[in-house]
Amino acid sequence: MQILVTGGLGFIGSHTVVALAEQGFTPIIVDNLSNSEFFIKERIEQIIGKAVKFYETDCNDLQAMEKIFQENALQGIIHFAAYKAVGESVAEPLKYYENNLFSLINLLKLMQKYAVQKLVFSSSCTVYGQAEKLPVDESTPTLPAFSPYGNTKQIGEEILQDVVRSNADLQIISLRYFNPIGAHPSALIGELPRGVPNNLVPYITQTAIGKRSILNVFGNDYPTPDGTCIRDFIHVCDLAEAHVKALEFLQQQNGSFIDFINIGTGKGNSVLEVIKTFEQVSGKKLPYQFVPRRSGDVTAIYADVSKAEKVLGWKAKRTLADALADAWRWEQTIRTYQ
Ligand code: UD1
């Protein structure tokens, strides 16, 4: 079964391509290499032991995308390709709206034209903002987005809902990710941030290896037990497997169907807990300092994951320590390539 994976050379995309191949699907990658590297394709092939079809194509290029739909007998799509830097989206909102929304619209048009019915969409827990009640479940109302990036995820979900309401014969699941971290245990693929990382775990591993001098912890005056923010950190391989489960679930659905599912571990960990766990698994002392809060950060969020378990039969299996050990192994490997 051929599954198109947009953004398939990116962090979550590459791990999902591996998970798909392991479950007998035939992933076809489309990626414009705007925030990924071509060598990841060879690494994926090394892990799964076979070649993967790859198109260096921008999802915003409708004609080029149409060619892919014509050349392949696609039976589903997992749509990762999107920009995701919160700060950049505030500075360049149109870049985000154009890229993240037009690509989705192109895919939906082509899905209808070529009768490709199954779609898994990459959404984010950012749609909840600071939820009043934790853990947050899917019935929690979404709040106005803090950033254009977050808004593209909310508008993306609204577009999907409207298209399904129009009686389009499409079956869609929007997965709301919490904080994906870690790397493949082979250390052949992982996260490759360009420039200074925005996210916590790549900043930690780069500090530990000496690429950054010190980790800035944004705020230690939050109303949490240790004063630092709390997040639900999920191993990227668990997240990748959730996509395969979502696709398998969609095979059982017909007609117009959409659902929204949280993908996290169900556990919250503070920034300081992540640092301590990293120090334990790496055996390295991490230099860090407290600095003022980062604007736009919510105090605490973690997932109620009962729906994922009930609907998809999926549950995160790996621990925070597993994820940090894998991220650290990956960091030590990539140093030799940069
Ligand atoms: C961020 C985005 C989220 C997006 C996700 C993509 C915001 C508000 N949210 O999640 O929408 O889907 O990335 O991966 O930006 N931290 C530090 N020092 C650092 C980096 C981070 O203390 O150098 C702290 C942050 O303040 C936060 C926690 O670590 O409390 C996690 O930060 P990060 O990894 O950037 O993820 P989110 O902000 O939760």
Q: What is the mean pLDDT of the chain?
A: 96
Radius of gyration (Cα) for the chain, nearest Å?
19
Which atom of ligand 1 is found nearest the CA of 180? 14
Whether residue 307 contacts residue 314, with contact meaning beta carbons closer than 8 Å, is answered with no
Tell me, what's the pLDDT at 137?
97
201 CA distance to ligand 1 centroid (A)? Answer: 9
- In this predicted model, what pLDDT tens digit does every residue of 142-200 receive, in sequence order? 988 889 999 999 999 999 999 999 988 999 999 999 999 999 999 999 999 989 999 99
pLDDT band at 269 (very low <50, low <70, confident <90, very high): very high
114 CA distance to ligand 1 centroid (A)? Answer: 38
For the segment 13-31, the average pLDDT, to the nearest whole number, is 98
User: Which residue puts its alpha carbon closest to atom 18 of ligand 1?
Assistant: 217
Amino acid in the structure at residue 162: D
Tell me, letter by letter, the H, E, C secondary structure of the chain. CEEEEECCCCHHHHHHHHHHHHCCCEEEEEECCCCCCCHHHHHHHHHHCCCCEEEECCCCCHHHHHHHHHHCCEEEEEECCCCCCHHHHHHCHHHHHHHHHHHHHHHHHHHHHCCCCEEEEEEEHHHHCCCCCCCECCCCCCCCCCCHHHHHHHHHHHHHHHHHHCCCCCEEEEEEECEEECCCCCCCCCCCCCCCCCCHHHHHHHHHHCCCCCEEEECCCCCCCCCCCEECEEEHHHHHHHHHHHHHHHHCCCCCEEEEEEECCCCCEEHHHHHHHHHHHHCCCCCEEEECCCCCCCCECCECCHHHHHHHCCCCCCCHHHHHHHHHHHHHHHHHHC
Tell me, what's the pLDDT at 167?
83
User: Which residue puts its alpha carbon closest to atom 30 of ligand 1?
Assistant: 229
pLDDT higher than 90, residue 23: yes
pTM for the model: 0.97
- In this predicted model, what pLDDT tens digit does every residue of 97-108 receive, in sequence order? 999 999 999 999
User: Which residue puts its alpha carbon closest to atom 21 of ligand 1?
Assistant: 200
Show the ligand 1 pocket: residues with CB < 6 angstroms: 84, 86, 124, 126, 150, 179, 198-200, 203, 215-218, 229, 231, 271, 294, 296-297
pLDDT band at 130 (very low <50, low <70, confident <90, very high): confident
pLDDT band at 337 (very low <50, low <70, confident <90, very high): low
Catalytic residue among 55, 83, 128, 149: 149
- Tokens 């739909």 correspond to what residue? 69
242 CA distance to ligand 1 centroid (A)? Answer: 22
How is domain 2-181+234-264 classified at the CATH fold level?
Rossmann fold (3.40.50)
- In this predicted model, what pLDDT tens digit does every residue of 189-220 receive, in sequence order? 999 998 999 999 999 999 999 999 999 999 99
pLDDT band at 296 (very low <50, low <70, confident <90, very high): confident
Rounding to the nearest 10 degrees, give the CA dihedral for residues 170, 175, 181, 185: -50
207 CA distance to ligand 1 centroid (A)? Answer: 16
Tokens of 324: 């940090």
Is 149 a known active-site residue? yes
How many Å apart are CA 164 and CA 198, to the nearest integer? 34
- In this predicted model, what pLDDT tens digit does every residue of 28-54 receive, in sequence order? 999 999 999 999 999 999 999 999 999
